[in-house]
Structure 1
Amino acid sequence: MMRVHNGHLIGMALAATFLSSGVSLAETVLSVDATAPAPALETGYLRMGQGVSPAGGTIGINNRYLTLNGKPWMPTMGEFHYTRFPADGWEEQLAKMKAAGIDIVATYIIWNHHEEVEGAFTWTGDRDLRRFAQLCAKHGLKLVVRIGPWSHAEVRYGGIPDWVVDAMPTRGNDPQYLSYVDRFYRQIAAQVSGLLWKDGGPVVGVQLENEYNLTGPGQGRDHIATLKRMALAAGFDVPLYTVTGWDQTVYPSGEVVPVFGGYPDEPWKASPEILPPKETYAFRFDSRVSGNLGAQTVATRRGDADPDIPHTPFLGAEYGGGVPAMYRRRAVIDPADISAMLPVQIGSGVNLFGYYMFHGGRNPVGRTTLEENTGIHGHNDTPIIGYDFQAPIGQYGDMRPVLRKVRPFHLFTSAYGDQLAPMVPHAPSILPKALDDLSTPRWSVRSAGDAAFLFFSSHIRQYRMQPVTDVRFTINLPGGPVSFPSVPVTIPAGSHFIWPVNMDLGGARLAYATAQPVTRVTVDGIETHILQAEPGVPVELALTGATDVKAPGATVANRTGTTLVTGLRPGLGAAVTFTAAGTRKRLLIVTEVQAESLVLLRRNGQDIAVVSDADLFATDTGFDLRSRGNPRFRYSTLPSLGRGGKTDGLFTTYEKAVTSKPDMPVTVEPVRAAQPAPAIRIGGPAKAAMQPAPEAYGKSAAWSISVPADALAGVADAWLELDYQGDVGRLFSGVRMIDDHYFNGPAWRIGLKRFAAEIAQPLTLTIMPLRADAPIYIQQEWKPAQAADGQVAVLKSARIVPEYALSVAVP
């Protein structure tokens, strides 16, 4: 217990030194009581399926967390719809998700993508679920299949085929409906036969229905129970059965586990204005249910999720990796709008962080278009083809800046989740008064015994919180208080992070650190914990149980059994080396940019940490790097790969260049000018702006777009960037639409590799004019200036950006 007091004592000792020297130490102390015991573990209440694999691997669940092979497990899950991406690119995309720190892939099995015509099932090509599952297994990714039958997913009729909708009641226990659902379930089960966890395969979970809050005759809990019985009869014997838990959903307690979510904006709202601060950015200590997540039906009674809290862990499935494009609201999401959700939600107790979507896509076109739209009484209008979602990986496979922002959190939960998952959240002594309270600091602590993690966030989308000045934290633990850092610090506005308290280092403890643990690697027998410095906050580390502490360039001081390290300048060489239980270990403190550029690979049983400003993912022989617009590659590895690198702290840095392509001009020729756009229609279930009627698109301006014949030669892809202003952009090959886009400000980017055949001929771009009086939400910084005629439809520029590739072999 003394080690807990040491952090407190060293802080007091250093504070006294500063006071005696005349330095003002006016400070704010943020405190939390983390002495309350954790709820008792409850097992057996949740009636899940077979959790043992043929090799003896186990997946389990209790009322607080998941387990993998008997240890607490805190995976990260990312949604990727295989039917919305060309099958020949699945493997590369899954490798990108794996490199992003994703552990579980979630995917909808969208009924009308597979049985658009009654009895005519398609499970080949882009609809080959079995091959997709096999590729997940190859890349060490587990798989959750969301089998519906209703999915939503911004799909026509929520994925239920037209022939079902036209002929019978849906989403209830109607016998005819259930007979077709049963057939659909059995078809899915046949595709993944032999690929379930109990068979040694990747399929570890099944989600039933979606956003189900219907309680009429033949509906409610009994319908979910019926769907589970049908799934079991079809062969789905899996470790996890889930339902979504938001928007007052109903389900039979004990039969399924609710999962939760939250989004940075609500494009399904009718409002054309900035929304109030979102619940997603507020720590939650009571209900797990966020606000409006866009359910298509209205509940008539209280949902089952909150009363079920004592029996279920806090699992997530739909934390927005972005937001869908919807006609009436067109938010542009900043990377920090997504990354700030992670410390808030994990700090609230989430033990499975699941994204919707992590990978964007495009809608297939069948006998009808398959997107959600108000023309079929859908709640929202969405693009016919584009389903990019502003996701960390876009609809063409481009890895976005947001991926770098969130990946350090994924690596953290992977490396330290066994310590964090059993920890319970504690609310601080002072909480924000309301969601729009922008002055009270937002933070929490999760603890188990005397070990804890502190979670902090001062980022709220489209709102600015103030810096927290001259602050220290006090965490009251069973063994006594820990107060840190030793000297008050200022935490800049927009900061969001996780700091450790009494973190186990194997024979020593990190009593506290003003840096976030990211991951750990073992190289040459030395375990190295990599931590990320928080911009604007001095790094301070306190170690207990460590001896022979070395930190070149930093100040190392010993106070009452605690070693304090200060003055460390973050970087690839900012190492603190120490001995614990007779073994040398290291802490490496890197910059925020370096942490966001870090990918952890494993090859031949060896950890490999790679830091690069290029995007990268593992291959069968090593890893690939990708760079848009820059043919020069720089990457640093731990351990060294040999072959001519230069020592850079603990890493070895390599620089290589590939052949640069000359500028590739795009030929743009006007085809026709825009005509006056019709007035925006108001209606649909939301009684809000509706997209133009099909015949109205004849008013669009049009341009012929020609790209060089060799645009794709010698590069991984070529990106056509269209900087335009208008209402709706559409791109055609002949008369076939190949993509579409609701204007929201940033340039529209199209990956041309997918259209290698089409670009042999000129493409046609059309832009529907945007009326000045359109009741559509576009962020102020992206709103176009309106022309004298009251509408805008302009193509400002068109260019091609090459995507370069470099393959690196790893022995």
Structure 2
Amino acid sequence: MPEFDRRTALTATGLAAMGAALPARAAAQAPLPLDARKPGLPLKSGHLHMGTGTGPHGTFGITNRYLTRNDAPWLPVMGEFHFTRFPCTYWEEELLKMKAAGVTIVASYILWNHVELSPGRIDWSGDRDIRRFVTLCQNHGLLFFLRPGPWGHAEARFGGIPDWIVAGTRPRSNDPAYMVEVERFWRSLHDQVRGLFWKDGGPILGMQIENEYNLDGPGQGRAHIAALKSLALKLGYDVPLYTVTGWDQTLYPKGEVVPVHGGYPDEPWSAKTTKLPPKENYLFRFDSRVSGDLGAQTRNNRRGDADDDMDDTPFLGAEYGGGVPVMYRRRPLLAPADVAAALTTQVGSGVNLLGYYMFHGGANPLAAGRSLEETQRSGGYNDCPMIGYDFQAPIGQYGEVNAVNAALRPLHYFLGAYGDRLAPMTVHAPTIQPGDKDDLKTLRWSVRAAGGSGFLFVNNHVRQYATAAHTATRFTVTLPNGALTFPSRAVTIAPGAYFFWPFGMDLDGVALDWATAQPVTRITDADGPIHIFAATLPGPVELAFPAGTGLSAPARSEQGRVIADVAPAADRLLTVTAPDGRRVRILLLDQASAQQLWVGDMGEQRRAIVTAADTLFTPQGPLLRQRGAARFDWRILPGPPASAMVKGPTPSAIRFTQSRAAGKAPPIVVGGPAKAAMQPLPEAHRAAAAFTFTLPADAVESGDAFLEIDWRGDIGRLFDGTTMLDDAYWDGRVWRIGLKRFADRLGRPWTLTILPLRADAPIYLDDMARAKLPPGDQVASLLALRIIPELEHRP
């Protein structure tokens, strides 16, 4: 994300998500119309050939429209976290971070070449211990989705297939020599996860077969996916859900697997060195689930199978970008709104499994000093860092909670609390739609509805493009029981806004006709349920109820309803009493507070905390962490604010010396599979400048600390002696490195090398990064080093 602190980022994101109240002098306009009377597809089940869905802890199922859990509609959040890309010592706390962010299912590739480091020797120890990782998921109430390839991509060398198998077989086909090797790998994996499948009482509920598969021909295509599924069944992979990726002209045997979908706010794999056109992910989808280019390494010119399967399979996601990677030739930076707005459109388009790639960043392991990243020179389409795999994800390479996390959590909490209502709802398109993804003037909106209940989704944000302001806006949704026009007072939807509003919503027996606020979650205390909403516009929120409803706030009678204009405030509960005497409370948060909301289990209760600190819900209670600041502020809802000062280390500057001047960087070669800028050869780093420094040996005695590197150049590499600790392509951000995993290396000299960035480099940098480059033919400079301690407190 751009280089500003988290509090600024959250505020900026929050403001971008807001509209504005309509000035009184603005001219009235006709409400925007949408007809939501068309019924959805008839519900059917049993037509998809999945595995055992029943286990000791309940039942999973699948219909043509949505997933089910214990026979009820279910809309989970799934986040990718590669266990082999993160130290096993810290797996548990990282899983707690994912759970606190609202993730329900943890997905992970099992990258073959991460566990088979030499021919025939598969190692499941240490950071490769899949059984321990899956068991930790189970211990903390998280489900697990297995993605064992055998070809996974994941920006890994040969897509994760070991070199010797690539050399000696015909990968990604029914070549007998290849299938024998796949069986050996999958059998070894099955031995590790035996007894952890849902049917056995474990957390594994699904298996993705292959990835981005669109090859066709003898022994390929649908026949290969069928052969892989048959092999999985033979080995005992019995799961409630078998999937394949559904984009880039994918091919698969209908009924045997279910397609999953995705989309990204930018395309780091693109060969273009300029800003991309508006991405289609910011449009609502009504006729197709398949996004544009998602970076598949192979191409197929025929029509894929996923679009023809829409009537028989639910709209499931597995690879919506929680961020994007920074690749050598293209280095886009995402703002939180770039991600959150795109996800709002996908949920408003009917997504019934919200799956992220990646949700948690990591670091590529080295195999006996040999790197395993994707490169053009090894036949891949992209050049990636040797180690760094941060992905600008909601949780970063070193476990840092990034600003995009805050922008996504309210959506996740909503799906956790109300997803069973949303999942069966049918998607409806407005009468007036944008002409295409380049139309930035027509308002983008949709409705998901069932009967007289539903949610109205709006997106007016498109990454790197200005959208129009929509003044005097109201909506008319025609439902089976008549037309509903709201809000009562027209609003302006500002550029950058994205949100959804409820209508016809049941709040524990109290009817809410509509609200100009976004529902977030439901909690309870000794006095009963509390529904938490987030404001989406500046000023008071409109809450409309049927006539006869009693409110603990001033209200007016209008349109046969009771309508209240309520200012958001974390310390004010609105009590609503239905005509039959049933009572519920509503807590209305402003947008900034909503993005500081954390929801999790505290003892036997589901509770909510508002705090700028990162929050984990542990068996010992909530744990707050933040970088640099000693003052902690929080509010456990409903309740008063609290604060505490914590003693600990303070941020400090680190002195460094330049031990080697930069040489002249060689010209960047254009070529490779992408016919684009190629990462310089290893010998080019002889031109790198070198800087030496020593970090305090006790830097992490009081908890984690982060080294912040403010630098300019092309490629940075951090060494302890000749051991590379991390690397990065410069993209305009401060490079932040968590130090606790390097605790045994602190107190001795480290070296940072910076390969000069040439002024004529044919690479893409965002405007913010370009503006930081000094004039000259090349740059390789280190501006500052700082250590920022991470402090923690238990409320």
CA distance in 2, matches of 1:546, 1:449: 23
1:216 aligns with 2:217: yes
Residue 49 (structure 2) aligned to one of 40, 47, 53: 47
- In structure 1, the partner of 2:468 is 466
CA distance in 2, matches of 1:500, 1:224: 41
Q: Give the deviation of 1:544 after TM superposition.
A: 2.3
Q: Give SS of 2:487's match.
A: strand
- In structure 2, the partner of 1:727 is 714
- Closer/same/farther in 2, CA of residues 45 and 89 from structure 1, 3 Å limit: same
CA distance in 2, matches of 1:625, 1:137: 23
Q: Give the deviation of 1:94 after TM superposition.
A: 0.2
Q: Which residue identity lines up with residue 272 of structure 1 in the other structure?
A: T
Q: Give SS of 2:499's match.
A: strand
Residue 417 (structure 2) aligned to one of 415, 418, 429: 415
- In structure 1, the partner of 2:584 is 585
Maintained 8 Å contact 1:78/1:355? yes
CA distance in 1, matches of 2:628, 2:154: 33
Q: Give the deviation of 1:560 after TM superposition.
A: 6.0
- In structure 1, the partner of 2:607 is 608
Maintained 8 Å contact 1:533/1:591? yes
In the TM superposition, 1:161-200 aligns within 5 A as 161-200=162-201
Maintained 8 Å contact 2:668/2:761? yes
CA distance in 1, matches of 2:696, 2:40: 64
In the TM superposition, 1:556-595 aligns within 5 A as 556-559=555-558, 561-566=560-565, 568-580=566-578, 581-595=580-594
Larger mean Cα displacement after TM superposition, 556-565 or 398-407: 556-565
- Closer/same/farther in 2, CA of residues 696 and 489 from structure 1, 3 Å limit: same
- Closer/same/farther in 2, CA of residues 789 and 27 from structure 1, 3 Å limit: closer
- In structure 2, the partner of 1:534 is 536
Q: TM-score, normalised by structure 1?
A: 0.93
- In structure 2, the partner of 1:680 is 668
- In structure 1, the partner of 2:625 is 626
1:748 aligns with 2:735: yes
Deviations 1:256-285 (A, max 9, x none): 000000001000000000000001111111
- In structure 1, the partner of 2:494 is 492
Maintained 8 Å contact 2:628/2:650? no
Q: Give the deviation of 1:593 after TM superposition.
A: 1.2
Q: Which residue identity lines up with residue 584 of structure 2 in the other structure?
A: K
Q: Give SS of 1:530's match.
A: strand
CA distance in 2, matches of 1:571, 1:754: 41
Q: Give SS of 1:210's match.
A: coil
Maintained 8 Å contact 1:489/1:538? no
Q: Give SS of 1:378's match.
A: coil
- In structure 1, the partner of 2:15 is none
- In structure 2, the partner of 1:15 is none
Q: TM-score, normalised by structure 2?
A: 0.95
CA distance in 2, matches of 1:511, 1:785: 51
1:478 aligns with 2:480: yes
1:519 aligns with 2:518: no
- Closer/same/farther in 2, CA of residues 806 and 687 from structure 1, 3 Å limit: same
- Closer/same/farther in 2, CA of residues 50 and 521 from structure 1, 3 Å limit: same
Q: Give the deviation of 1:788 after TM superposition.
A: 6.1
1:390 aligns with 2:378: no
Deviations 1:105-151 (A, max 9, x none): 00001001111222211111000000000000011110001011000
Maintained 8 Å contact 1:25/1:488? no
Maintained 8 Å contact 2:628/2:651? no
CA distance in 1, matches of 2:108, 2:265: 21
CA distance in 2, matches of 1:604, 1:46: 40
Maintained 8 Å contact 2:653/2:784? no
Larger mean Cα displacement after TM superposition, 449-458 or 605-614: 605-614
Q: Give the deviation of 1:787 after TM superposition.
A: 5.6
- In structure 1, the partner of 2:332 is 331
Maintained 8 Å contact 2:434/2:442? yes
CA distance in 1, matches of 2:448, 2:503: 10
CA distance in 2, matches of 1:157, 1:694: 19
1:764 aligns with 2:762: no
Deviations 1:374-412 (A, max 9, x none): 121110000000000000000000001110000000001
CA distance in 1, matches of 2:772, 2:511: 58
Maintained 8 Å contact 1:635/1:654? yes
Maintained 8 Å contact 1:514/1:538? no
Deviations 1:524-583 (A, max 9, x none): 1411110000143641010127633212xxx312346521111x2101134321224533
Show structure 1 runs of 5+ residues with no match: 1-21, 639-649
Maintained 8 Å contact 1:489/1:537? no
CA distance in 1, matches of 2:317, 2:359: 13
Deviations 1:762-794 (A, max 9, x none): 110000000011100001121156666500111
Maintained 8 Å contact 1:415/1:520? yes
- In structure 2, the partner of 1:803 is 790
Identity %: 54
Deviations 1:181-228 (A, max 9, x none): 011111111111111100111000000000000001100001101101
1:270 aligns with 2:271: yes
Q: Give the deviation of 1:317 after TM superposition.
A: 0.3
CA distance in 2, matches of 1:357, 1:214: 25
Larger mean Cα displacement after TM superposition, 504-513 or 555-564: 555-564
Larger mean Cα displacement after TM superposition, 674-683 or 783-792: 783-792
- Closer/same/farther in 2, CA of residues 769 and 24 from structure 1, 3 Å limit: closer
Residue 642 (structure 2) aligned to one of 646, 651, 654: 654
Q: Give SS of 1:157's match.
A: helix
Q: Which residue identity lines up with residue 451 of structure 1 in the other structure?
A: S
Q: Which residue identity lines up with residue 646 of structure 2 in the other structure?
A: V
Maintained 8 Å contact 2:650/2:788? no
- In structure 1, the partner of 2:407 is 405
Deviations 1:717-736 (A, max 9, x none): 11111111110011000011
- In structure 2, the partner of 1:322 is 323
CA distance in 1, matches of 2:737, 2:294: 29
Show structure 2 runs of 5+ residues with no match: 1-23
CA distance in 1, matches of 2:608, 2:594: 11
- In structure 1, the partner of 2:63 is 62
1:454 aligns with 2:452: no
1:701 aligns with 2:700: no
Q: Give SS of 1:158's match.
A: helix
Deviations 1:26-67 (A, max 9, x none): 225211110101110011111111111124x11110000001
Q: Which residue identity lines up with residue 422 of structure 1 in the other structure?
A: P
Deviations 1:480-515 (A, max 9, x none): 111011111111211111100101113222111000
Q: Give the deviation of 1:520 after TM superposition.
A: 0.5
Q: Which residue identity lines up with residue 516 of structure 2 in the other structure?
A: T
- Closer/same/farther in 2, CA of residues 178 and 317 from structure 1, 3 Å limit: same
CA distance in 2, matches of 1:622, 1:522: 17
Q: Give the deviation of 1:713 after TM superposition.
A: 2.6
- Closer/same/farther in 2, CA of residues 538 and 578 from structure 1, 3 Å limit: closer
- In structure 2, the partner of 1:227 is 228
CA distance in 1, matches of 2:787, 2:292: 41
Maintained 8 Å contact 2:106/2:143? yes
Q: Give the deviation of 1:665 after TM superposition.
A: 3.0
CA distance in 2, matches of 1:198, 1:371: 36
Q: Which residue identity lines up with residue 711 of structure 2 in the other structure?
A: Y
Residue 40 (structure 2) aligned to one of 8, 30, 38: 38
- Closer/same/farther in 2, CA of residues 24 and 185 from structure 1, 3 Å limit: closer
Question: What is the aligned-residue RMSD (CA, Å)?
Answer: 1.6
Q: Which residue identity lines up with residue 635 of structure 2 in the other structure?
A: S
Q: Give SS of 1:59's match.
A: strand
CA distance in 1, matches of 2:775, 2:640: 59
Q: Give SS of 2:587's match.
A: strand
CA distance in 2, matches of 1:146, 1:422: 27
Deviations 1:612-651 (A, max 9, x none): 110101112101101111011111113xxxxxxxxxxx32
- In structure 1, the partner of 2:288 is 287
- In structure 2, the partner of 1:29 is 31
Q: Give SS of 1:137's match.
A: helix
CA distance in 2, matches of 1:171, 1:657: 57
